[in-house]
Amino acid sequence: MSDKGMTTMAVKRINKNKVYSFIYHEGTTSKLQIVQKLQMGLSTVSQNLKILEEEGLLEKNGYFDSTGGRKARAIQIRRTARVSIGIGILKKMVHFVAVDLYGTVIFDSTLDIPYQTSRKYYRQLGQELEGFISGNVLDRSSILGVSIATQGIIAPDGQSVSYGVIMDNIQMKLSDFTEYITYPCRLEHDSKAAAYLELWNHKEIDSAVVFLLNRNMGGSIITNGLVHQGIHMHSGIIEHLCLTHDGPMCYCGSRGCLETYCSANALEQASGMGITPFFQKLRNGDSDCRQIWDSYLEHLAFAMRNLNIMIDGSIIISGYLAPFFLEEDVVTLLNQINSTSPFTLSRDQIILGTQGQYTPAVGAALHYVSEFLQNV
Ligand SMILES: [Zn+2]
């Protein structure tokens, strides 16, 4: 193809993406608004709308109020024209989510399938995924891909787990999954996936530390609006920050890691009950639960204070325990941080995540959505 031909094709692609992105960000718009805001010719806009509609990516719902003359059609993107699937793999269970093009969860499911390094496990996972897809009547051709979040650090090439003590999944490979999953597939460290979700929800964030308060704790560092990976992909593994060198034994082999104080498992162990009953008793004024929770918040604030010294930015409380936090808990954390830190943290710097236990699966799924939006 000639250079001119290539250039014409590139311009066409760019224009199509501009029109789609404009509609996506506006939510609802009209042909005239697109022409005016993008300063694009009417025929170019019409042509691109026609292409996008033929590809099933747009929908026209209703009309704008007339300001004289013909009423303008209201144009939106078809948010379920493509969906991405996220899988969260835990030691004792699996989470499935399907998200639409705005990153909204349209379906979710939790299955009690304990992890094991066997073909039987991967085959069952593939079958359950097919069940999730057909059970929710998802159009197979609309599925962008399946993104798998797991506990464990992923090797830089994305093909395997390089550190996986909790689940004993050091042998986990992407190819184990792709043998039974026929869609595009990728592996993601659950803590990093959580950070992608928080970045998606808070696009203004430049720097932050994410506290993933799951059954096992996780964490990640965001700088310059990106998740910091590190040379060996283990940046932000704040769960192994040492709080007391002679504290409780951590699964990593060291003592007194943040994991042993602030994971959901640690809270369950300290209280001798499940997370939901614990918070019910706590909020009903139980003094033993209060004492355990105060101690939990004290350790969390200590880590937050020290990490904020390193990363001058937001603190994001994410994952399983995040929806259990009340404003009074955030205020307690803030007061404890500010009572010992030379720099004052403001209330708006502490952000509470909203997706609970589905956080890693949703964050992982967003990868394929972002990729689609960039290349449409
Ligand atoms: Zn540890």
| pLDDT confidence of residue 2 | 64
Phi then psi dihedrals of residue 355, to 5 deg:
-95, 0
Mean pLDDT across 236-260: 95
Per-residue model confidence as pLDDT tens digits over 261-282: 999 999 999 999 999 999 999 9
Distance from residue 38's CA to the centre of ligand 1 (Å): 52
- How many other β-carbons are positioned within 10 Å of the β-carbon of residue 203? 7
CB distance 49 to 58 below 8 Å: yes
Would you place residue 233 in the very low, low, confident or very high pLDDT band (cuts 50, 70, 90)? Answer: confident
Distance from residue 245's CA to the centre of ligand 1 (Å): 11
Distance from residue 201's CA to the centre of ligand 1 (Å): 29
| pLDDT confidence of residue 166 | 78
Distance from residue 346's CA to the centre of ligand 1 (Å): 30
Distance from residue 257's CA to the centre of ligand 1 (Å): 5
Rounded distance between C-alpha atoms, residue 194 and residue 171, angstroms: 23
Looking at the predicted structure, is the pLDDT value of residue 1 above 60? no
* Non-local CB neighbours of 328 within 8 Å, separated by 6+ positions: none
Looking at the predicted structure, is the pLDDT value of residue 103 above 80? yes
Rounded distance between C-alpha atoms, residue 296 and residue 280, angstroms: 16
Distance from residue 254's CA to the centre of ligand 1 (Å): 5
Would you place residue 254 in the very low, low, confident or very high pLDDT band (cuts 50, 70, 90)? Answer: very high
| pLDDT confidence of residue 67 | 65
Q: Please give the residue that has the higher pLDDT: either 71 or 317.
A: 317
| pLDDT confidence of residue 260 | 97
Would you place residue 171 in the very low, low, confident or very high pLDDT band (cuts 50, 70, 90)? Answer: confident
Distance from residue 66's CA to the centre of ligand 1 (Å): 64
Distance from residue 309's CA to the centre of ligand 1 (Å): 21
Distance from residue 65's CA to the centre of ligand 1 (Å): 60
| pLDDT confidence of residue 77 | 96
Distance from residue 47's CA to the centre of ligand 1 (Å): 58
Mean pLDDT across 228-256: 92
Domains and CATH numbers, the chain: 8-77 (1.10.10.10), 83-194 (3.30.420.40), 197-358 (3.30.420.40)
DSSP state of 356: G
Per-residue model confidence as pLDDT tens digits over 320-337: 999 999 999 999 999 999
Q: What is the DSSP string of 95-142?
A: EEEEE-TTS-EEEEEEE-----SSHHHHHHHHHHHHHHHHHTT--GGG
| pLDDT confidence of residue 205 | 95
Per-residue model confidence as pLDDT tens digits over 288-324: 999 999 999 999 999 999 999 999 999 999 999 999 9
Rounded distance between C-alpha atoms, residue 101 and residue 366, angstroms: 9
Distance from residue 300's CA to the centre of ligand 1 (Å): 15
Would you place residue 247 in the very low, low, confident or very high pLDDT band (cuts 50, 70, 90)? Answer: very high
Looking at the predicted structure, is the pLDDT value of residue 70 above 80? no
Distance from residue 239's CA to the centre of ligand 1 (Å): 6
Per-residue model confidence as pLDDT tens digits over 338-376: 999 899 999 999 999 989 999 999 999 999 999 999 999
Mean pLDDT across 148-161: 87
Among the listed residues 375, 367, 57, the one whose alpha carbon sits nearest the alpha carbon of residue 200: 367
Rounded distance between C-alpha atoms, residue 308 and residue 344, angstroms: 10
Distance from residue 266's CA to the centre of ligand 1 (Å): 12
Mean pLDDT across 60-79: 83
Q: What angle do CA 92, 316, 298 make, to 5 degrees?
A: 85
Rounded distance between C-alpha atoms, residue 78 and residue 53, angstroms: 9
Phi then psi dihedrals of residue 144, to 5 deg:
-75, -35
Looking at the predicted structure, is the pLDDT value of residue 53 above 70? yes
Distance from residue 147's CA to the centre of ligand 1 (Å): 27
pTM exceeds cut of 0.85: yes
State what percent of residues in the chain have pLDDT above 70: 97
| pLDDT confidence of residue 198 | 93
What per-residue string of b and e applies to 129-138 under the rule 16 or more CB within 10 Å gives b? beebbeeeeb
Residue 199 identity = L
Distance from residue 352's CA to the centre of ligand 1 (Å): 24
Q: Backbone dihedral region of 121: left (phi > 0), alpha (psi from -120 to 50 degrees) or beta?
A: alpha
Rounded distance between C-alpha atoms, residue 19 and residue 222, angstroms: 31
Would you place residue 66 in the very low, low, confident or very high pLDDT band (cuts 50, 70, 90)? Answer: low
End-to-end Cα distance, the chain: 22
CB distance 336 to 306 below 8 Å: no
Distance from residue 259's CA to the centre of ligand 1 (Å): 6
* In 179-274, beta strands by DSSP E: 185-189, 208-213, 217-223, 226-227
Rounded distance between C-alpha atoms, residue 31 and residue 337, angstroms: 51
Query: CA 94 → CA 144, 173, 216, 299, 358, distances in Å?
Result: 20, 17, 15, 29, 10
Would you place residue 62 in the very low, low, confident or very high pLDDT band (cuts 50, 70, 90)? Answer: confident
Would you place residue 60 in the very low, low, confident or very high pLDDT band (cuts 50, 70, 90)? Answer: confident
